Amino acid sequence: MVYLDNAATTKQSKASIAEFLRVSKEAFANPSSIHEAGRLAEKELSRAREYILKHSIPNAKKVVFTGSATEANNIIIRGLLRDDTRLKIITSQIEHPSVLNVCDNIKSKKIIVDTVSVDKDGLLNLTELYEKIDENTALVSIQHVNSEVGAIQPLRKISDVIKEANARLEPLRRGKIRHTYFHSDCVQSFSKMDIEAELDFASVSAHKIGGPKGIGALIFGTGIKAVRPFIYGGGQEYGIRSGTENVPAISAFTEALKESRAFDSDAKKGDIKRYFLDKISGFKELVPILPFQASPYIQAVRFKGFKPEVIVHALEDKGVYVSTGSACSSKAKESHVLKALGYNDMDVVRFSFSNDTTKADIDDAVCAIKEVVNFLI
């Protein structure tokens, strides 16, 4: 089997599984309990929290563990944008559905949702962003790496634009909004490339880096009081997300992060993607999208004249697993990302790599592609 759908999820690493089992056996108690077993679980939780805090964003202050990055995105958008005053959120045309759909859900007479366009390379229009930030803008939410085409947003430049807008608007702000916050969905970049910008909030996920499913985190680079609780209860996770923490999964998340950071893989260096692009360069039917500007872990490819579902299933029959786009929105009728970039989404297949992907995997995949294309033409 050649698995090239790692932007959807990665295989959990052996070390992460081992850590999950160890903590499940040795620190199974409730970390809120005051007895020795509880203190042991709390120690594991604190150790994991400190490691993720240290290796996330430059200005990280707190980590709130969540059930997924989708939940983290919901927490920050719903937690900041209250319907008791006039507020605005700005995002882009190519955001993940967990941002766009929650924005559609909360949109009302008092909550305004505005989007900023992108160019043919998927990069945000920074001038347009600056012009759209007004005194009522509470949040700007921009994904770091797009999950469908791998476009990388310049977070530091975006941060500078927001800071400049905040300085301009400070004299005009008299109500509840004193500051426009910056949130980024960093799921596809976390541990794979440096997140150099200072962010107010960042969403990350375990299962995209070799960790378990069902665990993510919201990283706070600013005060936590700005966000209202998402789940009420016992007050865990700074009162933002109550409920007993899944300490084994959180520890396994940390172990996967350690591995990913330490692994100077061919994928991380871009060698796997370059090798893949070189191998498919001889196919006139295949046209790579953003071959050099995008993430080294993601490559979208046009199969001219073919339906992507046919390619995906034909490759599946040969033991090669790829995707038609974002797995989180695979039931959507068309790709809003490809549409924004000016592409026809009816012929695009996504190949996504992990730190475990080898050149032998690419050789096998390209051999399968050749057989499928030759059979279909």
Q: Is the pLDDT of residue 126 over 90?
A: yes
d(CA 203, CA 222): 14
Least confident of 111-125, 165-179, 241-255, 326-340: 326-340
Give percent above pLDDT 90 in the chain.
83
Give 62-114 pLDDT, tens digit per residue: 999 999 999 999 999 999 887 667 799 999 999 999 999 999 998 887 899 99
Catalytically annotated residues? 328
pTM: 0.94
Instruction: Report pLDDT for 64.
Output: 98
**b/e string for 245-270 if b means 16 or more Cβ within 10 A?**
bbbbbbbbbbbbbbbbeebebbbbee
Give 348-362 pLDDT, tens digit per residue: 999 999 999 999 999
Residues 25-33 have a mean pLDDT of 96
Give 182-239 pLDDT, tens digit per residue: 999 999 999 999 898 999 999 999 999 999 999 999 999 987 777 999 999 999 999 9
Least confident of 78-82, 233-237, 299-303, 321-325: 78-82
Taken in order of first residue, the domains within the chain and their CATH numbers are 2-9+265-376 (3.90.1150.10), 14-262 (3.40.640.10)
Give percent above pLDDT 70 in the chain.
96
Q: Is the pLDDT of residue 330 over 70?
A: no
